[in-house]
Amino acid sequence: MIIDQFSQENLGIIGGSGIYQMEGIEIIKEHMIETPFGRPSDAVIEAKLSDEVFFFLARHARGHKLLPHEINYRANVYAMKQCGVRYLLSVSAVGSLKEELPPTTFVLPDQFIDWTKGQRKRTFFGDGIIAHVSTANPIDPKLQKLAANSCEHAGVNFHVGGSYVCIEGPQFSTKAESAIYRRFGASIIGMTNVPESFLAKEAGMSYATIAMVTDYDCWKEEHCTVDEIMKVMGTNNSMAHKVLLDFILKFSSNKFYVNPENKLGVLTNRDTLSTDKQEILDVLLQ
């Protein structure tokens, strides 16, 4: 297994493909990984900034080829774990459900609301492995705090806390749906962080997300063209590079212990499992 090649305390980043253009990043190797759950979105990139080695995966594949429901979330998270990733930072675009979170705000949520339609494979378990892992606290506050410190250092307008409601997509919300999400008390809306965040918990990872607001969801009576959204996305991506460069360096000198909760959730006697199933648990519970 590829996991044997790496330390088990690595940093992983899942997001857009723009990281390849980040100043100071050295690409070490591309890992084409096969997992028991299929292929991830793209090659996992082993990279280096200063002395810190980290791993990166383009969630939608290079060239942005995958719709949110087409992403193999299980393969993505599992491939990262195979590379020894213990700390997983997500970067994604979202819409705002609150007036006080305007476009170009970076939101660091602490909760998720799953409003997808059941098309996504959302657990590593089943097929003989019975496990129930808590997702009560899907965000690791220590990793979130490091991300917040980097946002502050980069001069980004950011907000810590709030709920991210994840919809199926690829269509955006109707006004009626947007009004419902606002009644939930959700802060932002996106299409990619579920089941990604839940799978990270099942894999025993520390997980946090930087959600970059591109627009107000359709609840707000405000005209917004695609060109305007793309302009905001360009600004967000530029600021995200600054945040990530700072974050990687901060992480290097501020690593912390992670107590995986997933080991407590496995109920099946491992002696009754096939070799393939035992190998899956070996990776997830590492």
Pair 46, 83: CB distance under 8 Å: yes
Q: Which of 42, 110, 215, 246 is catalytic?
A: 215
Residue 203 and residue 77 in contact, taking contact as beta carbons nearer than 8 Å: yes
For 117, which DSSP code?
-
Closest to 181 (Cα-Cα) out of 160, 164, 169, 201:
164
CA–CA separation, 56 vs 43, rounded Å? 9
Tokens linked to 242 = 């600054």
Cα–Cα distance measured from residue 8 to residue 109, given in angstroms and rounded to the nearest whole number: 26
Annotated catalytic residue 217: yes
Tallying the residues shown for the chain, one arrives at 286
Catalytic, 215? Answer: yes
Question: Would you call 120 helix, strand, or coil by DSSP?
Answer: coil
Q: Look-up: residue for tokens 């290097």? A: 252
Q: What is the dihedral of CA 56, 59, 63, 69, to 10 degrees?
A: 170
Catalytic annotation, pick one of 217, 227, 246, 282: 217
Question: Whose CA is closest to 52, among 2, 13, 4?
Answer: 13
DSSP designation for 8: S
Backbone angles phi, psi at 120, to 5 degrees: -95, 135
Cα(93)–Cα(167) distance, integer angstroms: 13
**Catalytic (active-site) positions:** 215, 217
